[in-house]
């Protein structure tokens, strides 16, 4: 452990040093061709995020000998009805030489303030290749929760596929697609996911179809799966997507269980990649819960994991008197 690390509120004058540390961290852990390069080339969103957190007093900094060696900035929000804090990937970093000591001092300092205010749900997003930080958080009681991954639309995944009908959904598919979405929500609610997703109305399904970004897979006349692809209209510093990225979001992707492992998911993905290439979109982003065992196996075949979100729930009786 390094002695002499001082923790204090971040000031505007610290942002320049903090930015340099974060860019070095991004270059170290995100150098694959599947990942957007924007975030190391343009730091305006990073600077704006840190400036806002300084004003809100939601950013702390670690200094050693008067120099910034790490920082942590966070949001507060209700998560499943519980007061929570979230440190996005853009909201923290430390110099490699002092990483363990810096992160432990940062978390020790800020977590005490969170718990004093009865905020017991603590969430971080880190670069998935940062094994050192992953171990630090694991030892502190964090567990994996969500993965953000990217693929390059020009990656070649072509191979002989089953002759299932995969096409753009139309209004005549509204009821069939709605039924599949309801089935997907029921799947997410079961073990080991236990994830309650928002209900989607028939009107919302119709709106998605009218946007022409839902693909549906059919086995003759039977609907067996879907994929929802859209295009990001802004740079998003939470999941590090950029304007023009393809997004597998909203209703996402789902294959009926009895049709899995038959290349139907790959067929949907290849159609989505063709759609993105027509729009000159370079990357596609997806996020998925690590407890989603089927999705874990599928996405890691075709996407490169970039971010890992980790979660810790503090014992809620700590403040009882």
Residue pair 200/232 in contact (Cβ under 8 Å)? The answer is no
Given this model, what pLDDT does residue 137 score?
Answer: 98
Edge-to-edge, what's the strand order for the sheet holding 59-64?
6-9, 59-64, 67-73, 92-94
- What band does 204 get if pLDDT is binned at 50, 70 and 90? very high
- Paired residues of 304 in beta bridges: 150
Domain 6-147+309-313, CATH class in plain words: alpha beta
- What band does 238 get if pLDDT is binned at 50, 70 and 90? very high
Per-domain boundaries in the chain: 6-147+309-313, 154-281
pLDDT over 60 (residue 115):
yes
What is the pLDDT of the chain when averaged over all its residues?
94
Q: pLDDT digits over 135-193, tens only?
A: 999 999 999 999 999 999 988 876 655 556 899 999 999 999 999 999 999 999 999 99
pLDDT over 90 (residue 62):
yes
- If you average pLDDT over residues 233-244, what whole number do you get? 96
Q: For residue 93, give the nearest of 81, 84, 102 by alpha carbon.
A: 102
d(CA 131, CA 289): 19
Given this model, what pLDDT does residue 156 score?
Answer: 82
**DSSP alpha helix (H) spans, the chain:** 15-29, 38-41, 44-56, 99-116, 131-139, 174-188, 202-210, 264-278, 293-302
C-alpha pair distances (Å), 151 with each of 154, 213, 287: 9, 18, 12
Edge-to-edge, what's the strand order for the sheet holding 304-313?
75-79, 82-87, 121-127, 304-313, 143-152, 283-289, 246-255, 222-231, 214-219, 165-168
Q: Do domains 6-147+309-313 and 154-281 have the same CATH topology?
A: yes
Architecture of the CATH domain 154-281? 3-Layer(aba) Sandwich (3.40)
In the chain, the percentage of residues whose pLDDT exceeds 70 is: 98
């Amino acid at each position: 452990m390094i002695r002499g690390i001082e923790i204090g509120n971040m000031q505007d004058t610290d942002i320049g040093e903090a930015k340099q540390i974060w860019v070095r961290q991004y270059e170290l852990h995100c150098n694959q061709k599947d990942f957007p390069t924007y975030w190391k080339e343009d730091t305006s969103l990073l600077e704006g995020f840190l400036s806002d957190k300084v004003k809100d007093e939601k950013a702390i900094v670690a200094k050693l000998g008067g120099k910034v060696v790490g920082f942590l900035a966070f949001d507060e929000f209700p998560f499943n009805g519980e007061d929570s804090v979230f440190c996005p990937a853009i909201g923290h970093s430390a110099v490699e030489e002092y990483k363990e000591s810096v992160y432990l001092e940062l978390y020790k300092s800020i977590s005490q303030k969170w718990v004093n205010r009865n905020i017991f749900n603590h969430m971080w997003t880190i670069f998935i290749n940062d094994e050192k930080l992953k171990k630090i958080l694991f030892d502190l009681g964090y567990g994996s929760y969500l993965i953000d991954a990217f693929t390059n639309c020009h990656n070649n995944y072509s191979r002989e596929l089953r002759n299932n009908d995969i096409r753009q959904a139309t209004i005549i598919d509204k009821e069939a697609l709605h039924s599949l979405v309801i089935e997907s929500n029921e799947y997410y609610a079961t073990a080991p996911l236990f994830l309650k997703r928002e209900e989607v109305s028939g009107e919302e399904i119709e709106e998605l179809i009218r946007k022409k970004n839902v693909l549906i897979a059919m086995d003759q006349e039977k609907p067996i799966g879907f994929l929802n692809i859209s295009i990001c209209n802004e740079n998003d510093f939470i999941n590090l997507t950029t304007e023009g990225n393809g997004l597998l979001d909203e209703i996402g992707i789902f294959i009926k269980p009895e049709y899995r492992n038959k290349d139907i998911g790959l067929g949907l993905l290849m159609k989505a990649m063709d759609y993105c290439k027509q729009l000159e979109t370079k990357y596609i982003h997806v996020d998925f819960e690590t407890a989603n065992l089927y999705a874990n196996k599928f996405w890691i075949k075709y996407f490169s994991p970039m971010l890992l979100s980790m979660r810790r729930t503090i014992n809620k009786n700590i403040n009882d008197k």
